[in-house]
Amino acid sequence: MHAVFADPKTDFVFKKLFGTEEHKDLLIALLNALLGLKGDRCIAAVTFLREEERPRVQELKFSIVDVKCRDGRGTVFVVEMQVLKVEGFEKRVVYNAAKAYVGQ
């Protein structure tokens, strides 16, 4: 019998492992390590966003930003993990980046 593990790259499993208030410190450590952030560029805080927003981009039905980050300098940015190639991904990245920029 082979051991079966849940794939942490799936949205459901990732949220169970890292997407809770009690595991924020684990998520921050993971993102800082994966993104190679150092010093005041390190993520200092994350916010889990659950709301769905209707973008003005016709090809996108909705946009869900799971993790909004703030670094030691106060810069806000979003982190999204994408496993599969999805139509309209580039437009979603621009849309989410614009939302983060305007929100500052």
The yes-or-no verdict on residue 46 having pLDDT over 80 is yes
Instruction: For residue 96, give the 3-state DSSP assignment.
Output: helix
Phi first, then psi: what are they for 96, rounded to 5°? -65, -40
Distance CA 24, CA 47 (A): 9
What pLDDT digit, counting tens, does each position of 50-87 carry?
655 445 555 555 555 568 899 999 988 888 777 777 78
pLDDT recorded at residue 53: 47
